[in-house]
Amino acid sequence: MARTLITMPKTAKRGELIEIRTLIAHPMETGYRHADDGSVQPRNLIRRLTCRYFDGRDDVEVFSAELFPAIAANPYVSFFTVATASGSLRFSWQGDNGFAQTESVELTVT
Amino acid sequence: MTTRRQVLTTTAGLAGAIWLRPASASAEELAAAIAAFAAGAPVRAGRVTLDVAPLVENGNVVPITVTVQSPMSAADHVKAIAIFNERNPQRDVAVFGLGPRAGRATVSTRIRLATSQQLVAVAKMNDGSCWTHTVDVIVTLAACVES
């Protein structure tokens, strides 16, 4: 399990715009670098990040990101979404070598 | 008979061709990558702002922010934002998928830059139109994407 850091408000007013900042610990090895012995370091990337908003009725993908080797190590992505109703936001990262991680954060909408 | 002048001009031309090729080849690749993302739609400058420091000290971690002017309503919103570079080993940097639920078309991330180069942000709207912003970045310490 990689360490993740998701920063977003716990509560929001209905229709309010909230900023979500996500960070996950991952080397994002490009597959272009060489080790000291000259061998190529095998590629190891996070390929995709998705954020789904489940508000009790609908489960909608509000944001997705496809990541390439040019993304810095420990990928940081921040974006916005509209708080529609109380529910949970599910973040999932997928990557090479079967890397998959999901985190869920509750949001209370008043 | 080959004259001295002919030899000199051809070698100069060859050297020029060899010297210029990497830069123009990557610029062509960049244009091709943008065209592939636009999928036939005309690509116009405007509406997009790619915010990045013009002078980057550390190419390993370069914070960037892309903002697109859009009401983000069901009728008029940004569908995707792509970021391309000119001189990293690969032209793609990231592709973000958005929709009306995003509320605001602003995305931030941190990227690697192998050398001083151009960065291009392309936004694709729900009506298929594409808008871009190109920025030149000078990198003092390159990212070790290739050694």
**Domains of chain A by range and CATH?**
4-30+43-109 (2.60.40.10)
pLDDT of A19 over the 50 cut: yes
In a domain, B127, yes or no: yes
- A32: chain B residues, CB-CB within 8 Å: 89, 145-147
Higher pLDDT, B61 or A36: B61
Could you tell me the two tokens for B86? 């000119």
Cα gap B132→B147, rounded to integer Å: 31
What is the CATH number for B125? 2.60.40.2470
- B88: chain A residues, CB-CB within 8 Å: 69-70
In a domain, B131, yes or no: yes
In a domain, B13, yes or no: yes
pLDDT of B125 over the 50 cut: yes
> Contact, B59 vs B141, CB < 8 A?
yes
In a domain, B82, yes or no: yes
What pLDDT, on a 0 to 100 scale, did the predictor assign at position B18? 47
CB atoms closer than 10 angstroms to residue B117: 20
A17-24 sheet: strands from edge to edge: A4-7, A17-24, A76-82, B106-111, B62-68, B48-51
In a domain, B77, yes or no: yes
> Contact, A81 vs A64, CB < 8 A?
no
- Residue (of A63, A92, A18, A48) closest to B97 by Cα position: A63
pLDDT confidence tier of residue A2, bands split at 50, 70 and 90: confident
Could you tell me the two tokens for B42? 């005309």
> Contact, B135 vs B113, CB < 8 A?
no
Whether A66 has its CB under 8 Å from any CB of chain B: the answer is: yes
Are B93 and A30 an interchain contact pair (Cβ–Cβ within 8 Å)? no
What percent of chain B shows pLDDT beyond 90? Answer: 61
Phi, psi of A51 (to 5 degrees): -125, 120
Higher pLDDT, B26 or A20: A20
In a domain, B146, yes or no: no
In a domain, B147, yes or no: no
Full domain range(s) for residue B78: 4-141
| Chain mean position to CA A100 | 11
Report the number of distinct structural domains present in chain B: 1
> Which residue among A61, A71, A73 sits closest to B109, beta carbon to beta carbon?
A71
- Tens digit of each residue's pLDDT (9 = 90 or more) over B20-73: 445 578 888 999 999 999 988 889 998 999 999 999 999 999 999 999 999 999
ipTM of the complex: 0.92
Residue carrying structure tokens 């190529």 = A40
Cα gap A91→A102, rounded to integer Å: 5
Are A66 and B112 an interchain contact pair (Cβ–Cβ within 8 Å)? no
